[in-house]
Every structure is written in C-alpha cells, then in structure tokens.
Amino acid sequence: MIQIDALPAFSDNYIWLLQDTAKRRCAVVDPGDAAPVFAWLQAHPGWVLEDILITHHHHDHVGGVEALKRATGARVCGPADEHIPARDLALAHGEQVRVLGLDLEVIAVPGHTLGHIAYYTAHAPIPLLFPGDTLFAAGCGRLFEGTPAQMHDALQRLAALPGETLIYCAHEYTLSNLRFACAVEPHNASITQRFEDVTRLRADDRISLPSNMALERLTNPFLRITETSVKQKIDEWTGHANEGEVAAFAALRRWKDGF
Ligand code: ZN
Ligand code: FE
C-alpha cells in the first residue's frame, strides 16, 4: 500500500512523495527544491529515497535532483527527449517503470514542453496519474514549446483515463483556474460548487489536490470545448466562429493566458 503526500515547494509547487510504509522506502515526483525532501528524510530516519521521477525539464521540477541524487543515490527517471540532470533512466511513451512495486506507465504529453511525460498506473488500487504541468485541477499548463494541437491531443489522452483516477498535479493553481472556469461556464453547477469548496479549503490553507478525472471532465473547461455553451463562449471571446476542436482549444488557452 502506497501513501502519497505533498511536500510544498516555492510558492505553489507540490513535490509528491510516495511512501511504501511497510518497507520504509519512498520516491518523489518533480523535486524542484531538495530542501523539503531532505527535511522529510531527516524527520523520518531509516527511510530510503529510491526513485526520483521527473515529468519535464523546467527548473521548478528538476532543481533539487542533483543534490538529492548525490546524497541518497536515488535513481533518476525522466523523459528521454529532454535534458534532465543526473538522469539514470530515459523514458519514452509506452514504456513502464517499476517504482516502489508499482508499475508506472509513461504517457507522452507534449505541449507545455515538447518532451513532457506523465506517469500513470491503473493498479494502485485506485488509478494514479502524475501529469506534471500538463493537466491542472480545472486547468492546463501553458504552451511554452508545443502547439495547441499537441496539447489538446495530450489532454484528450489523459481525459480518457478512468473517472476514479486520482490526479496529482504539480502546482496549487486550482482556485485561479476555477475563477476562469466560472467565467467560461457561469451556469455550470459543478464548477460553482467546486469553486465554493476550494475557496473554503484555501482559506484554511489546505491543499486542493489530488483531483480525479471524473471531476475534471465536469469542471475543467480545457476538457469541455465540445460542450455547446463552452464553444459559444470561446467564439464570443474571439469575436468569430472557431472551426474545429484545436482552434477552439487554442483560443481558450489564449483567453486564459490573459485572464
Ligand atoms: Zn513547467
Ligand atoms: Fe511547473
């Protein structure tokens, strides 16, 4: 049985810590800063950091890798198509990596960066997804390197995962994403409810994650561009009809960038 906790880093990053409590071994996802991981290890003597999983090359995700590797000897796993410091295992789409006894599947999700990967397991006993900066709760990552078509495709692939899949996003962006979602779908009761729920959580300084795929399909505008009301709002914002899903997605992403 794997327990998963968030180690907050910087202003809004989460380093996900996977713990095999029986064997006292752990793994981290996207340690942009080594300090929170060292602090946890110091507070938990006898625990071994076995693996470091990386989703993409941005500094807020890899900044702590070299120090952690040097101190613990943990294996560094990351995308094959990006420069990842101290990487031991280069992973490509469709490959599997065994971490703390879990078989994680690698899904290519280009868009935010070109070599971005996500980690997924269907057998945890609840399916788990670590999407990095591709899918956020009620939002998605910015397009720094890829095209709207690539990102739309990547999000569609993730959206097809089982509804109960728990989603461990790399940033606490949920509340600002929901503010935008409310503007896109003012009459969506699920979004209104989630906005209230997350407002309350954040007022108490509590985490809004993990999310799950069923909730994302109901409340994430970037997974809902085929909904008539969403499409209409996007066309309203651009001032013309956007033909096709990719054009609608690209316009929605541009709208959010300036929101
Ligand atoms: Zn990033
Ligand atoms: Fe990031």
Which single residue is written with the structure tokens 């990006």? 82
What are the backbone dihedrals phi and psi of residue 191, each rounded to the nearest 5 degrees, phi first?
-70, -45
pLDDT at position 27: 99
- Per-residue pLDDT of 172-201, as tens digits, reads 999 999 999 999 999 999 999 999 999 999
DSSP β-ladder status, 96-99 and 89-91:
unpaired
Q: How close is the Cα of 243 to the center of ligand 2, in Å?
A: 31
Q: How close is the Cα of 164 to the center of ligand 2, in Å?
A: 24
pLDDT above 90: residue 124: no
Q: How close is the Cα of 12 to the center of ligand 2, in Å?
A: 9
Is residue 187 exposed (0-12), middle (13-18) or buried (19+ Cβ within 10 Å)? exposed
Q: How close is the Cα of 236 to the center of ligand 2, in Å?
A: 30
- Per-residue pLDDT of 93-111, as tens digits, reads 999 999 999 999 999 999 9
pLDDT at position 211: 98
Instruction: Report which bound ligand comes closest to the CA of 142.
Output: 1
pTM of this structure: 0.98
Residue 221's pLDDT band, with cuts at 50, 70 and 90, is very high
Q: How close is the Cα of 258 to the center of ligand 1, in Å?
A: 18
pLDDT at position 150: 98
Residue 134's pLDDT band, with cuts at 50, 70 and 90, is very high
What is the per-residue DSSP string for the chain? -EEEEEEEETTTEEEEEEEETTTTEEEEE--S-SHHHHHHHHHSTT-EEEEEE-S---HHHHTTHHHHHHHH-PEEEEETTS--TT-SEEE-TT-EEEETTEEEEEEE--SSSTT-EEEEES-SSS-EEE-TTSEETTEE---SSS-HHHHHHHHHHHHTS-TT-EE--SB--HHHHHHHHHHH-TT-HHHHHHHHHHHHHHHTT-----EEHHHHHHH-GGG-TTSHHHHHHHHHHHTSPPPSHHHHHHHHHHHHHT-
pLDDT above 90: residue 20: yes
Closest by CA position to 132, among listed 5, 29, 212, 35? 29
pLDDT at position 125: 87
Q: How close is the Cα of 100 to the center of ligand 1, in Å?
A: 25
pLDDT above 90: residue 1: no
| 210 preceded by a cis bond (ω within 30 of 0) | yes
Instruction: Report which bound ligand comes closest to the CA of 9.
Output: 2
Residue 132's pLDDT band, with cuts at 50, 70 and 90, is very high
Q: Which residues are the active-site residues?
A: 56, 58, 60-61, 112, 133, 171
